[in-house]
Structures are given as structure tokens and as C-alpha cells.
Structure 1
């Protein structure tokens, strides 16, 4: 209702009321246009980059069968590897596996269940036989791209809303300054019978 009041012809309507109303309309239009454009652009770019990452990971990561050599307790965690070495409930084991070229490797792995010596388990490795994380699938890439697009759209809309709020703040600031000036002018004639007030 307050929004409609700013558009009506009314002797109390100020110019700043009209500017404020138009700023609101412009903000809504810009949020729809810029938000959609930003979301589409970022989502498309992210989807392309993630699709390439999926292709690379699926091409260069391999599921191999590893064998437990022995349990290892009290050893420091390995510095990298997209494994779950720091999670509670996981045990550390020395394991042996072969890379795609048949070269044998050994290393520390974290396993949730406590296997016995010589038990086998699946392990993801890269082309050189180093431990790697599970490759990303296409569905996960799509979800990440959609989330990136939604975040970009929300960011663009938030930016537009921030600009609108600054404009409204400036209008209100000017409106109060104008009221102060008008009250000062009215104060000189306040209460005088010949002032016409």
C-alpha cells in the first residue's frame, strides 16, 4: 500500500518519494536481469570447467585392489592425499598395490574397518600409483555448477539491493536535511499573527 501511495497524485508526495519508488522498480528489474545473467554465465563456466575435471579425473584415476601388509599405530599422518586420515574411527595400515603399469607400491592408508593382514580392499590411485581420491562424477559436477550459478545470481541480486539501499539512504538523508531547513525557516515566523501560518 505504501508503494502505491508514492505513485498517486498527492500534495504531500515529494520528488524523493517518486525517485525512491522508481529505484525500487529498477532494482527489481536489475535483480531479475543481472541475477539471471550472472547465474547463467557463472554456472555455464563452472559446468564446463567441472566437466573437464570429471573427464581428467576419470581418465587418470584408477581403482586398484590393495592388500593390507600390517596395522600401523602412532605414526604421523601423511601430509596430503585426499584420504580420510584425520577422521575418528579410522585405522592406519601399511598397504601394498600395483599401479596400472604393474609397478608395486606401498604406503599408509586409512581404513574404517579393521582388516587383517593380507585382506584386500579397493583403493583409488593416479597414473603414477599414488593414492588419490575417488574421481568426481557428472552428477556431482552438475550440482556444483548449479550451486555456483545460484550463488552468483544471489550475489548479483545482493549487489543491486545494496546499491538500492544506498540510494534510498541518500534520499532519506536529503529529505531530513530539507525538513531541517524548512523548520528553521518556519521557526522565524512561528507564533506571529501576521505570518500567515
Structure 2
């Protein structure tokens, strides 16, 4: 709003300098970019991120499978470990030796993290594997993908606005420096005797 007011104020002012008008136009342009361009860029990036992440969700759902594993035994010194996939960090899992069958029918045996607090031989728990039974992370869910896309769009909007403000400040700083340089030149031309009685008469 100050940019619009500045343009209106300087329209017919006899003391108006060209730099004053340019500075007001720069501020108005930056304001329009803040209000129109930055949100549009953010929406575009968010939409692209949403499409890409949802495609990743679909691909992971096709390539990752939940199988049921059976506890064979607990390894020596097995302790509760924080679940790396838990958002809150409060989830805990226990390291166990387990057996599972891959989606392609091959049997597997190995040490895995089970979502059981006190596992016993024969307990069942879910496990995510690829088609051949190799352990993989849980597939990305649609809601999490959407959250990441929204955050990407918001971050891009803020980054664009910050860049515009930085450019505006650099332009204004350059104009102010040139203005001060012109004032210094004008004072140098006036000479050290400016203002003394009888000088220049």
C-alpha cells in the first residue's frame, strides 16, 4: 500500500526526483510479485510435487508387500529400539530372528525389527518386503505425500517472496548510493566557501 501511496504522492510533486519515482515503481512491482507471482509459483511447485509423490506412492504400493513373519527366537542382548518410521519417535521395536515367506513363495530367515514389546517364539508380526522377500521400508502413504507437497509449495512461495524482497532491497540500496554520490558531487561543486558572506558575488 505504501508503494501505491508513494506513486500517487510523487505524481505531480515539484520536488520529485526520477529516483523517487523509480523507487516507488520498484516497491509496487515487488508488492505485485508478492501477491500474485510468489503464490502462483508455490502452487505450481506444489502441484508438480503432488503428482510426483502420488506416482511414487502408487509405485511403492505395487512393489512393496506386507507379509506375516513369525518369531523364531530373540537374539542375544536384544533390546528395544526406537522405530525409525515412527513420526513421534515414541514407537519402539524389538530385534528378533524371524521367518517369513516372500510374495514369490521363497522362504526367508533373518534378524529384523518386530513391532512387539515382549516377543516369544511363534508370535506373528507384519513385515514389509519386495517381491523377492528383501526387507524394505513401509510404502509412503497418500496423506504423507500430500503433506510433503503442500510443504514444498509453501516453502517455494516463501523463498520466492524472500528473493523478490532481496532484489528490491539491492535495487533501492543502489539508487540511494547513487543519490548520495550526486549530493557529494553537488557539494564539491559548491566549494568549501558555500554559505559565507560575499562568496560568489
Q: Tell me the TM-score normalized by structure 2.
A: 0.81
Please tell me whether residue 168 in structure 1 is matched to residue 186 in structure 2.
no
Give the deviation of 1:74 after TM superposition: 6.0
Please tell me whether residue 177 in structure 1 is matched to residue 181 in structure 2.
yes
* Aligned match of 1:50: 53
* Aligned match of 1:101: 104
After superposition, the C-alpha distances for 1:146-177 in whole angstroms (9 at most, x for unaligned) are 11111222222222112111101101111111
Please tell me whether residue 141 in structure 1 is matched to residue 141 in structure 2.
no
User: Which ranges of structure 2 fall in alignment gaps of 5 or more residues?
Assistant: none
What SS does structure 2 have at the residue aligned with 1:130? coil
Q: Which stretches of structure 1, 4 residues or more, deviate above 4 A after TM superposition?
A: 87-90
* Aligned match of 1:84: 84
Give the deviation of 1:66 after TM superposition: 0.7
* Aligned match of 1:156: 160
CA distance in 1 between counterparts of 2:108 and 2:127 reads 12
Give the deviation of 1:5 after TM superposition: 5.3
Aligned residues: 189
Give the deviation of 1:49 after TM superposition: 0.9
Report if aligned partners of 1:7, 1:18 keep a CA contact under 8 Å in 2.
no
Report if aligned partners of 2:129, 2:135 keep a CA contact under 8 Å in 1.
yes
Is 105-114 or 3-12 further displaced after alignment? 3-12
Q: Tell me the TM-score normalized by structure 1.
A: 0.82
User: Which ranges of structure 1 fall in alignment gaps of 5 or more residues?
Assistant: 76-82
After superposition, the C-alpha distances for 1:2-28 in whole angstroms (9 at most, x for unaligned) are 753564244444322221111010011
After superposition, the CA RMSD in angstroms is 2.7
